[in-house]
A and B are shown apart, each in its own frame.
Chain A
């Protein structure tokens, strides 16, 4: 196994142990807990918090991907070109809104819990995906597009069979960025009572128990690193496959 493969396997094993068997780590975190205080978070199972954390991120990122790619397809068609500057403005402004402020502003409208977190993660995820989708869809090789038109593909067929597959690796870069940001930002969702791993960190902040802060922080950090890594691998694999296909087509 290569060195990076071993590091990856070790990280996965460490993460699984932290999530499934948190008590194994009592001696590790004990020095950071206040004297006589609890070392390992026990008010909720780490597994269920992790699942709900990842579920929120997956749902928000999935929706953001659908909307952002859909919007990008729309504004790169001739009919939607008039909306390109507007959609750029909206996603740019959306990105300057601080996540905590979005969370807090959504609470009066949506109540406490998962709702505001979903909205904030969704809004935050849009920009990176939208930007890369536009870049991917508007920088396709003209020769390929000409060939697709030449063999009589309709607009719809060109989009599905040529443009989207070619733009996919670039779009994936945006999705990866957006998912990693969402994994970190979701922890803040626990300030408005969403069930995420942020709950562990906040419990630590409120009781000045650094053991909780570290426990939550390490798990979220590992999730972020591993998801980033997995999506990078997927991206490389896709690019390689596309490269081979186009090389085969040329031969």
Chain B
């Protein structure tokens, strides 16, 4: 059995088990709990057959250890089978049900999706693609998912109906979520970079600053958002004109401020760590060449420390995309609005409408930032 990939065997076993789990649920309306339907009960065998065959073939192709390309092809076939079953299964289930019926993917679908996605990731990591190849793949996957959503093939699913009934709210929430996450990242970078550089040069400032920032980090995220509300409503009352530029106790401003404060520690700490990566000999050489400290900073220390600084920004971005969901609790908008509405109405698909884009955004940002970090890493280090 030497030719078998051990993870491939694991995927095959898990995948086969998941095929027997309920693949979709059919509910009489939006709120009631649905009944689970197994794969082969979704539609006529001539419709489900090809999909199941594709997935089995995919699991089988994942087995040979020495052929990562074959395993990638297997994962792609499996994902294709999964989408085939989801699209055709949804329309056939709806055809036999009432007007208000809702269909959603169930445990079996999600499980198989995870199995094939991990199979793809495992095979890809065996090839260890460079940053350009990874960026290309990321764009390809986004384009494929985008095309699938755009085509309307999934419009029978319950989550798509939740989307259709609040399209405009969804676009507003998306903009707001992106604004919160990227805006606070930008603000943290603008404040944190100079703070990091200054405290790199000044040990006294460093000793005073780091405990304060660590303290900010220990405040639970919920409380941080809550504390910002009175602080900002006080500010908007005291500072003339503050209200006119959108500083108010609830909404965007407190969420933005809370996220920015949270981001300062990782930014400053990583700037400090990054500036320390320049070897002493290199700095000595720079000093010997007669560079001023500003030249040493911009031409030696910052370029050498850039990957570390960027990985700090990666931590902040992923963290803020997740924390921005909490803004939904204090009227700050974003995808959290749907998550908390869904929790209140116990409407699972509305929760999904908020949670899935958040997860996707976090994943894409993490992968994109990893690629950036690798691109900025000096070539000699990468080859080691």
Using CB atoms and an 8 Å cutoff, list the residues of chain A in contact with chain B: 32, 80, 82-83, 85-86, 88-90, 92-93, 95-101, 104-105, 107-109, 180, 183-185, 187-188, 190-192, 198, 201-202, 204-205, 208, 210, 213-214, 216-217, 220-221, 224-225, 228
Contact = CB atoms under 8 A, between A and B. Distances in A.
B7 A83 contact: yes
Given A100-B325, A104-B354, A205-B225, 4 more contacts: A83-B10, A108-B348, A191-B343, A210-B227
B180 interface: no
Interface of B: 5-7, 10, 65, 107, 118, 121-122, 125-126, 218-227, 229-230, 318, 321-323, 325-326, 329-330, 336, 339-340, 342-343, 348, 351-352, 354-355, 358-359, 362-363, 366
Nearest to A200: B223
Q: Which residue, A88, A90, A107, A187, has most C-beta atoms of chain B within 10 A?
A: A107
B222 A104 contact: no
Given A100-B322, A188-B222, A205-B329, A105 B227 contact: no
A204 B336 contact: no
Nearest to A224: B218
Give the dominant DSSP class at B's interface: helix
Contact of B222 (A85, A86, A205): A205
Give the dominant DSSP class at A's interface: helix
Given A86-B7, A86-B118, A90-B118, A98 B358 contact: yes
A70 to B, nearest CB: 16
Contacts of A89: 118, 121-122, 125
A108 B224 CA distance: 28
Contacts of B321: 98
7 contacts: A80-B6, A82-B5, A98-B325, A101-B322, A109-B107, A180-B218, A205-B226
Contacts of A83: 6-7, 10
Given A99-B322, A191-B329, A205-B225, A220 B352 contact: no
A104 B339 contact: yes
A9 B65 CA distance: 58
Given A86-B122, A101-B339, A188 B351 contact: no
